[in-house]
Structure 1
Amino acid sequence: MHKKLSIGIFFILAVFLIGGMYYSLPYYVSKPGMAKELAPIITVEGGYQEKGNFMLTTVRMGRANIYSYIEAKMRKYEEIYPLDMVLNEQETEEEYNVRQLHLMAASKLNAIEVAYHKAGLPVHYKYKGIYVMQVLQGMPAEGKLQAGDRVFKMDGHTFPSSKDFIEYLGKKSAGDQVTLTYSRNNEEKSVNLILQPFKDQSGKAGIGISLVDDKEISVDPEVKVRTDEIGGPSAGLMFTLEIYNQLTKNDLTKGYQIAGTGTIDPDGTVGPIGGIEQKIVAADHAGAEIFFAPNEKGAKDSNYRAALKAARDIKTKMKIVPVDTFDDAVKYLEKLPKKK
């Protein structure tokens, strides 16, 4: 009897423990990720070699279960975020993942543009259409389109930019029909959608998608950036530095291990990112000696100030350098003495 009772209790406990691994809580947990060397990821045809390394830094983000939630509560550099702080309104987790991958793609394009312009080389774009980032509930596109679809025609027309695509759609009214031609999993499809009013925008009608440009960049020499499944825009600055360094004869690394983070705009502006403290931890673990952090024009709550605080807390010897633009980072590195 006692043996059967013990087996029963053990079975119930095992089910509870295993179930705790698969039961998702309404939170995300982020923790320090990795600092990854960029030279194996980015290749400029005929590019110059470097003695040191530029590194991108990441955070690990995942849906919380009971164990990861408890672990994050106990560890200093792990953070817990409610779903609505990570996902946009009405956004699914699948759409979030698609959004992150397209933000990474846009970040790579911006990095190439800034680096080649800085090196005095021409850049050419070819617009191919738009990617669907999110489908709004209760709107015509729901159930017809999905995140990741590439729309390349509307009513048989192609467009030179997403701005023209939006302007064409904006001239139509609720009740009008449009035919979209799109690709999904390399298969061409078409769908007819009837515009309807947006609930929160008086007088405006649409099909209910958020979008991002689908375009190719053409440069000479050719550059390849392989990021696999890394998402988000936060590696923009470091991508730009690595590409530019391979394009120019003088090695900006000068033998140092250089990490950093920050988005990059086409004009070279460096923008803030999330998880800067965790990226400081990741860079320190990887042996980085210099870390570039978005300065946000000296704002009191800037990424730079948060990075500096984290660096002091973990007692790293890594130098934290504030930057507002790509040029700021280049000027700092140009003045840096070569590592002995």
Structure 2
Amino acid sequence: MKRNKAYLKALLIGVILAILGTFIQLPYYVTKPGMATELDPIINVENGFEDEGEFMLTTIRMGQANIFSYLWAKFHKYHEILPINHVRRDNESDEEYTNRQLYYMEDSQESAISVAYKYANKPITVKNHGIYIMGIVEGMPAEKELKAGDRIFAVDGKKVEEHTEFMKYVADKKENDRINISIDRNGEEKTVTVPLAPFPKSPDKIGIGIELITDIEVVTDPKIEIDTKKIGGPSAGLMFTLEIYNQLTEKDLTHGLRIAGTGTMNPKGEVGPIGGIGQKIVAADNSNVEIFFAPNENGAADSDYQQALETAKDIKTNMKIVPVDTFEDALHYLENLDENK
């Protein structure tokens, strides 16, 4: 009987520890290789051309650490532990972080569309959808009335389309002045009144405590649809651009191969660095990718490209790692792929 009681006690303690280890979150995030996802089902250009191969984006899996995931990451290569303030901004909620990442993804799509249509000699126009609230400063007046994801379209009855217009208007106000802000929140329009106050960490600076970005929509001919669901961040910009361009033009740039990569894309067609390049190389290799484009950062010694080479050597992959600084670099490589083999 005593042995049975001891056994049940040990079992109960084990269950409690397992529950605590699973549900108690630590002030860290754990990142690890995600997967390579085909872009053809995600991007659809109206009457676009088909390809024989695949352009693919690469992802990183990330979540807030519990005791088990923290310990697991400690002993597994290409799992990284990041302090929470290296991922989320000060006092940024999960909702605000998610909205910020989704906006970055949307912004990367717009740059990708602009660049791809430009190189394919297809027309685009730009529509302005007002000002998008990216985040709220804790302890500031906006916290009571506004939310991340709100869109501002007027202030004190005056229409505003650029975040710089809003900032300039507020800059002329004084502490305790009140402004009426008209917003769209999930399709519902409303007007809220917000007073101005000093920022907690910068008392000489007056404002309401919001982070803003101008929301732009690119309208194309032919039409394009992109369905990224909950994929966030800007790092798929280069691969979006390649997939869109490939659907717009008759020549198939994939050559029947599985081609992945990473890197931000700006409206000038420049490729920017990202985080977690090693984990993305592992993800691409796990998905049998044959060519991987990596940001070259103009030949910097610690560039994403150099880190990608190190990872590729470490995991002994046969995947070809290609350095790029611009969309044109990637385009030129693929157009001359027979000579580059």
If the TM-score is normalised by the length of the shorter chain, which range does it land in?
over 0.9
DSSP-derived class of the 1:337 partner: helix
1:114 Cα deviation (Å)?
A: 0.9
1:336 Cα deviation (Å)?
A: 0.4
Q: Which moved more, 1:221-230 or 1:136-145?
A: 136-145
State the one-letter code of the partner of 2:310: K
For residues 84-233 of structure 1, the aligned pairs below 5 Å read: 84-201=85-202, 203-233=204-234
For residues 322-333 of structure 1, the aligned pairs below 5 Å read: 322-333=323-334
1:305 Cα deviation (Å)?
A: 0.4
In the aligned structure 2, how far is the partner of 1:9 from the partner of 1:134?
Answer: 47
Q: Residue 5 of structure 1 corresponds to which residue in structure 2?
A: 6
In the aligned structure 1, how far is the partner of 2:287 from the partner of 2:242?
Answer: 19
Q: Residue 287 of structure 1 corresponds to which residue in structure 2?
A: 288
Q: Which moved more, 1:205-214 or 1:260-269?
A: 205-214
DSSP-derived class of the 2:122 partner: coil
Q: Does 1:56 align with 2:78?
A: no
Q: Which moved more, 1:143-152 or 1:193-202?
A: 193-202
DSSP-derived class of the 2:25 partner: coil
1:204 Cα deviation (Å)?
A: 3.3
1:338 Cα deviation (Å)?
A: 9.2
Query: Structure 2: any 5+ residue segments left out of the alignment?
Result: none
State the one-letter code of the partner of 1:134: G
1:130 Cα deviation (Å)?
A: 1.6
Q: Which moved more, 1:260-269 or 1:213-222?
A: 213-222
In the aligned structure 1, how far is the partner of 2:80 from the partner of 2:327?
Answer: 29
Q: Residue 307 of structure 1 corresponds to which residue in structure 2?
A: 308
1:164 Cα deviation (Å)?
A: 2.0
Q: Which moved more, 1:319-328 or 1:175-184?
A: 175-184
Q: Is the 8 A contact 2:134 2:212 kept in 1?
A: yes
The one-character-per-residue Cα deviations of 1:251-280 (angstroms, maximum 9, x if unpaired) are 111111100000001111100000100000
Q: Residue 242 of structure 2 corresponds to which residue in structure 1?
A: 241
Q: Is the 8 A contact 1:307 1:320 kept in 2?
A: yes
Q: Is the 8 A contact 2:131 2:215 kept in 1?
A: yes
% identity of equivalent residues? 54
State the one-letter code of the partner of 2:143: E
1:213 Cα deviation (Å)?
A: 2.1
1:157 Cα deviation (Å)?
A: 1.9
Q: Residue 265 of structure 1 corresponds to which residue in structure 2?
A: 266
For residues 71-86 of structure 1, the aligned pairs below 5 Å read: 71-86=72-87
Q: Is the 8 A contact 2:50 2:247 kept in 1?
A: yes
In the aligned structure 1, how far is the partner of 2:284 from the partner of 2:186?
Answer: 37
In the aligned structure 1, how far is the partner of 2:265 from the partner of 2:168?
Answer: 27
Q: Is the 8 A contact 1:125 1:217 kept in 2?
A: yes
The one-character-per-residue Cα deviations of 1:209-244 (angstroms, maximum 9, x if unpaired) are 112222322110000110000000000000000001
Query: Structure 1: any 5+ residue segments left out of the alignment?
Result: none
In the aligned structure 1, how far is the partner of 2:174 from the partner of 2:269?
Answer: 39
In the aligned structure 1, how far is the partner of 2:91 from the partner of 2:124?
Answer: 37
In the aligned structure 2, how far is the partner of 1:129 from the partner of 1:154?
Answer: 11
DSSP-derived class of the 1:330 partner: helix
> Normalized against structure 1, the TM-score is what?
0.96
In the aligned structure 1, how far is the partner of 2:91 from the partner of 2:161?
Answer: 30
State the one-letter code of the partner of 2:152: V
In the aligned structure 2, how far is the partner of 1:49 from the partner of 1:188?
Answer: 42
Q: Residue 38 of structure 1 corresponds to which residue in structure 2?
A: 39
The one-character-per-residue Cα deviations of 1:274-317 (angstroms, maximum 9, x if unpaired) are 01000000001111110000001111111000000000000000
In the aligned structure 2, how far is the partner of 1:43 from the partner of 1:170?
Answer: 43
Aligned length: 340
1:203 Cα deviation (Å)?
A: 4.6
1:337 Cα deviation (Å)?
A: 1.7
Q: Call closer, same or farther: CA 1:265–1:333 in 2, change over 3 Å.
A: same
In the aligned structure 2, how far is the partner of 1:333 from the partner of 1:222?
Answer: 25
In the aligned structure 2, how far is the partner of 1:236 from the partner of 1:85?
Answer: 22
The one-character-per-residue Cα deviations of 1:147-175 (angstroms, maximum 9, x if unpaired) are 11222221122223222222222232322
Give the alignment's Cα RMSD to 1 decimal. Answer: 1.7
Q: Is the 8 A contact 1:124 1:218 kept in 2?
A: yes
